[in-house]
């Protein structure tokens, strides 16, 4: 796919991720023991052969910038093309904040204009899925579409989540005939993945026209307004897909990785790249009792761990019992403490004999660097 | 060119023949160790952690994996504009091409490389040892004593001293005598093969040594004694800490097993002294509900459905349900199938152990083919071998690289026997 460039939208603020997103944007939330959400879409693009990728950021992008660096872990530190980061900036026209997704891309129009790929693939940075985009490009060309929108039948996602998505209706030829952004009452299960394939020249023209009229949102002001003027087609994606939209979805997605079938689909075939940390292999001591869990490098385990995801460098001491929990990098579970349905952010210390218990539907979250 | 104070020359050409099938296709420094590393990672990481960013790696024997491993030195942060890591292999001169004859000759042949940086000091290292050492402290010691050469030494048990080069020194550390493998050692300070030299002096001795036709061109045997004989100022820098020459199957196995003790003498988890290696692109490992893992190291990309006790799993190892691994080392991407049993064995990369196969059972009989190598009760399986289902394999057995079902004349391989690819020993 040398003829496609990528744009990853990673700007949106997400208050539904609670404490997890106060210090980072949702694409930077840690997932699956060693990744951040954005690793998936970025690796998907790299695995598709896309080597010219812009990441548009807005809210709390420090951790995201730190994570992506020069892009060398994704093999994107290139002389030609590679990885480009676009935080908001002040300019003659710009206010310093992107006023919407279309405005964000419009502010970085130079990137689009200076590139020479025929197509642009726009995707969201906070979704967990593993695929390549070759098939979507093929479908886009076959239909001679102006815009192709990837969607998925969201039959495995709670109804209330659907109200956070774009819901599409398609005709028998897969042409999008109705598109509702975040509808109160979704009329189909076809949720948009926020992944769009479009010709670069067309995208530039649409952005210029829209922003000139004071419209700043790609979905509301371009897709929906142009639904009948442009040939907008749906492309059905059938694989596993989750958006890091709420705490519940975040929790569920991490737990889904404990299912070998899901784990294999997401991590078994295509390589997912991430920033490396040079930790030693995980160490299990005599008393370790680990069942159905994902354990990253650098962990030292002397206690019990069940149905949990442990990120790099977590220590679980003797007598501690961790169940149904997600523990991020560098946290320490001291002796004889217990953890149930909890999400611990980075570098949390759970002191001796302490017990934290959340509910499956409402896991308790402990913010970064907290000592309990 | 920026002048470097000290650069390192890392000797990585040794075969390590006592590691048997483990070094049949790779040089000893490239042998896997400790769940994700190769032996050379320790010396390379010591260099960068000590502030040495220019390292010449001298390769000779089977360098392919080593070269691929080191690459441009990125994992050790040695992809530098000035210096960095350079692989120095033997090369053809105007009229003759020659191999590195000895350790000193290897450095002699690369005088040009060192001259390019005109360093004050050169540190000579070997890529064969497992240890963590701050070479900058040794350099401080070297400078304090205004030494011409400083040799790092470690205290060894008296009964083992005759296996090493032994330094006899005054109380202040100044060396007055050096004995290579003495029958009756006068001290227990063994050379670790880590030397700091003032480059102009070493340069002179290397040239002199090369002109001497009966020299073995070896640091321990020739250069050090010659310098001592000339009354150069030579000092012993005493190192105390974990240091292992993992040169035999037993030493290799034991040193790996040291890592799984509760508080290992050798700490891989020290954030102040990280050991670097190319990281595999693999997910965090998965421990299934049916699994049990105790006293073990488990690397990324492993899947464990069986039982693993007192063992080390390298990236991508797959342990199926009902399999039982004990006191063993399972290297990258090997698979142990259902209900197989692996005891006290070293399993190389990409090996398949068939269902219900049993390894490392029976009497402790030394290997018939190479009794000097396989004699400590450890069975060794070469890379890409596949052990047929239901096979029963004894102790001290050697399974050749790439051996497959066709090479097994019987499913019962008694202790001390070997299985060769193609059926015959080379």
User: How many Å apart are CA A174 and CA B340, to the nearest integer?
Assistant: 52
Q: What is the pLDDT of residues B211-250, one digit of tens each?
A: 988 888 999 889 999 999 999 999 999 999 999 999 899 9
Length of chain B: 426
Instruction: Determine the 3-state secondary structure of A264 from DSSP.
Output: helix
Alpha helices in A85-126 (DSSP H): 101-107, 109-114
**B100: exposed, middle or buried (Cβ count in 10 Å: 0-12, 13-18, 19+):** buried
pLDDT at B294: 96
DSSP string, B37-99: EETHHHHHHHHHHTT--EEEEE--SS-HHHHHHHTTSGGGT---SSSEEEEE---B-SS-B--
Whether B298 sits inside 8 A of A295 (CB atoms) is: yes
Q: What is the pLDDT of residue A18?
A: 79
Q: How far is A19 from chain B (nearest CA, A)?
A: 24
- CB B274 to CB A294 under 8 A? no
Residue contacts between A and B (CB atoms, under 8 Å):
106
Which residue from B75, B276, B298 is facing A284, i.e. has the nearest CB?
B298
Q: Search chain B and give the residue with CA nearest A296.
A: B284
Place of tokens 């093929």: A138
ipTM of the complex: 0.90
Only one residue has tokens 């003498």, namely: B265
pLDDT at A215: 83
Beta strands B6-11; A315-316: pairing state: unpaired
Residue recorded with tokens 């992506």: A68
Task: Determine contact, residues B124/B11, Cβ cutoff 8 Å.
Answer: yes
CA dist., res. A254 & res. A30, Å (int): 10
Backbone angles phi and psi of A137, in degrees to 5: -65, -40
Residue A219, SS3 per DSSP: helix
CA distance B93 to B109: 10
Cross-chain Cβ contact B287/A293 below 8 Å: yes
Residue numbers of chain A with a pLDDT score lower than 50: none
d(CA B98, CA B112): 16
Q: Nearest by CB to B269, which of A273, A280, A289?
A: A280
Q: Cβ contacts of residue B230 below 8 Å, gap of 6+?
A: none
pLDDT in the model for residue A293: 97
Contacts of B386 (CB under 8 A, 6+ apart): B351, B352, B353, B354, B403, B404, B405
For B:54-113, CB contacts with A below 8 A are 75
Using CB atoms, pick whichever of A263, A279, A284 lies closest to residue B293: A284
The residue among B180, B195, B181 whose CA lies nearest residue B239 is B195
Instruction: Note whether B287 contacts A278, CB cutoff 8 Å.
Output: no
Write down the residue that tokens 């029958």 correspond to.
Answer: B183
Among the partner-chain residues B269, B284, B296, the one whose CB lies closest to the CB of A32 is B284
- Rounded Cα gap, residues B218 and A24, in angstroms: 57
Tokens for B400, please give them. 């050749």
> Tokens 């059972």 identify what position?
B361
pLDDT exceeding 70 applies to what percent of chain A? 97
The rounded distance, in Å, linking the Cα atoms of B197 and B17 is 29
Digit-coded pLDDT (tens) for A300-318: 999 999 999 999 999 999 9
Out of A288, A289, A295, the one facing B285 most closely (by C-beta) is A295
Chain B closest-CA separation from residue A34 CA (Å): 7
Q: Are B123 and B135 in contact (CB under 8 A)?
A: yes
Select the residue of A260, A282, A311 nearest B298 (Cβ to Cβ).
Answer: A282
Using a CB-CB cut-off of 8 Å, the residues of chain A touching B262 are 285-286
Cα–Cα dist B4/B119, whole Å: 5
For chain A, what's the residue count? Answer: 372
pLDDT tens column, A132-166: 999 999 999 999 999 999 999 999 988 888 888 89
With contacts defined as CB-CB under 8 Å, which chain A residues touch B316? none
Mutate to test the interface with B, among A266, A280, A294, A309 (most CBs of B within 10 A): A280
Predicted confidence band at B273 (pLDDT cuts at 50, 70, 90)? Answer: very high
CB burial string B183-214: b at 16+ within 10 A, e below:
eebebbbbbbbbbbbbbebbbebbeebbeeee
* pLDDT at B391 (0 to 100): 95
Contact list in A for residue B284 (CB cut-off 8 A) is: 32-34, 294-297, 309-312
Average pLDDT over residues B76-92: 87
B253-266, pLDDT tens digit by residue? 999 999 999 888 99
Statement: residue B1 has pLDDT above 60 = no
Q: What pLDDT, on a 0 to 100 scale, did the predictor assign at position B80? A: 87
Q: Is B244's Cβ below 8 Å from some Cβ in A?
A: no
Q: Looking at the partner chain, which of B269, B289, B293 has a beta carbon nearest the beta carbon of A298?
A: B269
Nearest to B359 by CA among B369, B371, B350, B347: B347
- Shortest Cα distance, chain B CAs vs residue A304, angstroms: 11
Beginning with the edge strand found earlier in the chain, give each strand of the sheet holding A293-295 in spatial order: A364-366, A342-344, A326-327, A309-310, A293-295, B285-287, B303-304, B318-319, B335-336, B352-353, B386-387
CB contact under 8 Å between B312 and A281, yes or no, is yes
Q: Kindly give the pairing relationship between strand B32-33 and strand B37-38.
A: antiparallel
Name the CA radius of gyration of chain A, rounded.
21
Nearest-Cα distance to chain B for A79, in Å, is 16
Q: Is B154 helix (H, G, I), strand (E, B) or coil?
A: strand
For B161-229, the DSSP string reads GGGSEEEEE-TTSBEEEEEES-SS-S--EEEEEEEEEEHHHHHHHHHHHHH-TT----IIIIIHHHHHH
Contact present, A154 and A164 (Cβ < 8 Å):
no
Q: Tell me if A286 and B262 make a contact (CB, 8 A cut-off).
A: yes
Cβ atoms B153, B166 nearer than 8 A: no
Mean predicted lDDT score pLDDT of chain B: 92
Residue of higher predicted confidence among B240 and B14: B240
A63: exposed, middle or buried (C-beta count within 10 Å: 0-12, 13-18, 19+)? Answer: middle
Provide long-range contacts, Cβ within 8 A and 24+ apart, for B239-243.
B239/B131, B239/B133, B239/B152, B239/B153, B239/B154, B239/B192, B239/B194, B240/B154, B240/B155, B241/B131, B241/B132, B241/B133, B242/B130, B242/B131, B242/B132, B242/B266, B243/B129, B243/B130, B243/B131, B243/B133, B243/B154, B243/B192
pLDDT of residue B209: 92
Q: What Cα–Cα distance (Å) separates residue B54 from each residue in A22, B83, B295? A: 43, 5, 38
pLDDT recorded at residue B97: 64
How far apart CA A316 and CA A302 sit, in angstroms, is 6
Supply B32's token pair: 């896997």
Among all residues of chain B, which has the CA nearest to that of A283?
Answer: B297
Q: What is the pTM of this model?
A: 0.92
Bridge partners for B9 per DSSP: B56, B124
Q: How far, in Å, CA of B283 to CA of A272, rounded?
A: 8
List CB contacts (< 8 A) between A311 and chain B: 284
For residue B391, how many other CB atoms are within 10 A of its CB?
22
Residue B82 has pLDDT above 60, yes or no: yes
Nearest Cβ partner of B284 from A289, A292, A295?
A: A295
Closest chain B residue by Cα to residue A269 = B282
Helix, strand, coil fractions of chain A, as percent rounded to 5:
25, 30, 45
Confidence of residue B2 (pLDDT cuts 50, 70, 90): low
- Residue range B302-315, pLDDT digits in tens: 999 999 999 999 99
**DSSP sequence for A34-90:** TEETHHHHHHHHHHTT--EEEEEE-TT-HHHHHHHTTSGGGT---SSSEEEEE---B
Distance of CA A81 to the CA centre of its chain: 23
The closest CB to that of A276, out of B260, B279, B297, belongs to B279
Taking only residues 267 to 296 of chain B, the set having a beta carbon closer than 8 angstroms to any beta carbon of chain A reads: 268-269, 274-277, 279, 281, 283-289, 291-296
How far is A284 from B132, CA to CA, in rounded Å?
A: 23
- Please answer yes or no on whether A32 and B283 come within 8 Å at the CB atom: yes
Q: Helix (H, G, I), strand (E, B), or coil: what is residue B399?
A: strand
Chain A residues closer than 8 Å to B295 by CB: 284-286
Cβ neighbours of A277 in B, within 8 Å: 279
- Kindly report, residue by residue over B278-329, the tens digit of the pLDDT: 999 999 999 999 999 999 999 999 999 999 999 999 999 999 999 999 999 9
Spatial CA neighbour of B16 closest among B62, B85, B47: B62
Q: Do B286 and A276 touch (CB under 8 A)?
A: no
Give A72's contacts (C-beta < 8 A, 6+ positions apart).
none
> Is the CB of B169 inside 8 Å of chain A's CB atoms?
no
Tell me the β-bridge partners of B150.
B196, B235
Instruction: Please determine, for residue B107, whether its predicted confidence score (pLDDT) is greater than 60.
Output: yes
Asked whether the beta carbons of residue B284 and residue A283 sit closer than 8 angstroms, the reply is no
Mutation for testing the A interface, residue in B286, B299, B302, B316 having most A CBs under 10 Å: B286
């Amino acid at each position: 796919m040398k003829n496609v460039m990528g744009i990853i939208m990673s700007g949106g603020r997400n208050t539904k991720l609670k404490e997890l997103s106060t210090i980072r944007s949702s694409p930077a939330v840690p997932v699956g023991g060693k990744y951040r959400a954005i690793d998936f879409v970025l690796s998907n693009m790299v695995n598709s052969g896309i080597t010219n990728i812009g990441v548009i950021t807005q809210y709390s992008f420090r951790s995201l910038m730190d994570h992506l660096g020069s892009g060398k872990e994704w093999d994107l530190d290139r002389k030609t093309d590679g990885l480009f980061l676009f935080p908001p900036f002040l300019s003659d026209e710009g206010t310093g904040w992107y006023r919407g997704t279309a405005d964000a891309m419009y502010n970085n129009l130079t990137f689009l204009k200076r590139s020479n790929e025929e197509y642009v693939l726009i995707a969201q940075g906070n979704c967990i899925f593993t695929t390549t985009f070759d098939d979507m490009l093929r479908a886009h060309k076959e239909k001679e579409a102006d815009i192709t929108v990837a969607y998925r039948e969201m039959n495995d996602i709670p109804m209330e989540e659907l109200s956070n998505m774009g819901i599409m209706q398609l005709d028998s030829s897969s042409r999008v005939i109705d598109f509702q952004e975040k509808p109160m009452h979704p009329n189909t299960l076809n949720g948009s993945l926020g992944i769009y394939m479009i010709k670069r020249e067309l995208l530039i023209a649409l952005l210029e026209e829209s922003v000139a009229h004071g419209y700043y949102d790609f979905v509301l002001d371009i897709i929906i307004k142009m639904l009948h003027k442009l040939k907008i087609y749906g492309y059905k994606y059938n694989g596993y897909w989750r958006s890091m939209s709420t705490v519940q979805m975040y929790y569920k997605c991490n737990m889904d990785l404990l299912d070998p079938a899901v784990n294999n689909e997401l991590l078994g075939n295509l390589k997912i790249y991430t920033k490396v940390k040079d930790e030693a292999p995980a160490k299990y001591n005599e008393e370790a009792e680990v069942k159905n869990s994902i354990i990253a490098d650098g962990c030292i385990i002397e206690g019990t761990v069940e149905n949990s995801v442990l990120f790099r460098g977590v220590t679980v001491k003797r007598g501690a019992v961790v169940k149904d929990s997600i523990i991020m990098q560098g946290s320490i579970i001291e002796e004889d403490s217990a953890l149930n349905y909890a999400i611990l952010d980075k570098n949390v210390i759970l002191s001796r004999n302490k017990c934290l218990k959340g509910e499956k539907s409402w896991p308790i979250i402990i913010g970064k660097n907290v000592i309990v | 060119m920026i002048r470097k104070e000290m650069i390192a020359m890392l000797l990585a050409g040794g075969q390590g023949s006592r590691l048997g099938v483990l070094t049949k296709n790779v040089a000893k420094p490239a042998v896997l160790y400790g769940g994700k590393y190769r032996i050379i990672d320790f010396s390379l990481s010591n260099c960068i952690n000590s502030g040495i960013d220019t390292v010449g790696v001298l390769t000779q024997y089977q360098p392919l994996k080593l070269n691929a491993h080191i690459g441009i030195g990125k994992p050790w942060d040695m992809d530098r504009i000035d210096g960095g890591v350079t692989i120095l292999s033997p090369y053809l001169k105007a009229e003759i091409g020659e191999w590195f004859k000895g350790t000193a000759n290897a450095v002699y042949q690369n005088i040009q490389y060192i001259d390019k940086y005109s360093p004050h000091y050169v540190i000579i290292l070997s890529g064969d040892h497992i240890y963590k050492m701050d070479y900058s402290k040794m350099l401080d010691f070297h400078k304090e004593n205004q030494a011409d050469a400083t040799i790092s030494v470690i205290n060894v048990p008296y009964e083992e001293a005759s296996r090493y080069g032994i330094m006899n020194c005054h109380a202040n550390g100044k060396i007055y005598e050096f004995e290579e493998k003495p029958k009756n050692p006068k001290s227990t300070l063994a050379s670790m093969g880590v030397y700091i030299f003032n480059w102009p002096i070493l340069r002179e001795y290397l040239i002199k040594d090369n002109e001497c036709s009966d020299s073995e061109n070896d640091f321990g045997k020739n250069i050090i004694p010659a310098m001592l004989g000339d009354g150069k100022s030579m000092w012993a820098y005493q190192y105390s800490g974990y240091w292992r020459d993992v040169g035999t199957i037993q030493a290799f196995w034991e040193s790996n097993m040291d890592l799984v003790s509760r508080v290992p003498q050798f700490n891989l988890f020290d954030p102040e002294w990280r050991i670097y290696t190319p990281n595999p692109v693999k997910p965090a490992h998965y421990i299934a509900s049916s699994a049990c893992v105790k006293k073990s190291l488990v690397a990324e990309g492993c899947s464990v459905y069986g039982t693993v006790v007192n063992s080390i799993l390298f990236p991508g190892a797959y342990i199926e349900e009902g399999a039982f691994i004990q006191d063993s080392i399972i290297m990258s991407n090997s698979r142990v199938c259902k209900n197989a049993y692996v005891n006290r064995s070293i399993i190389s990369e990409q090996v398949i152990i068939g269902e219900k196969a049993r390894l490392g059972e029976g009497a402790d009989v030394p290997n018939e083919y190479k009794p000097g190598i396989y004699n400590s009760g450890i069975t060794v399986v070469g890379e890409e071998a596949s052990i047929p289902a239901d096979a029963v394999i004894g102790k001290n057995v050697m399974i050749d690289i790439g051996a497959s079902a066709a090479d097994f004349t019987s499913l019962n391989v008694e202790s001390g026997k070997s299985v060769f690819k193609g059926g015959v020993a080379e």
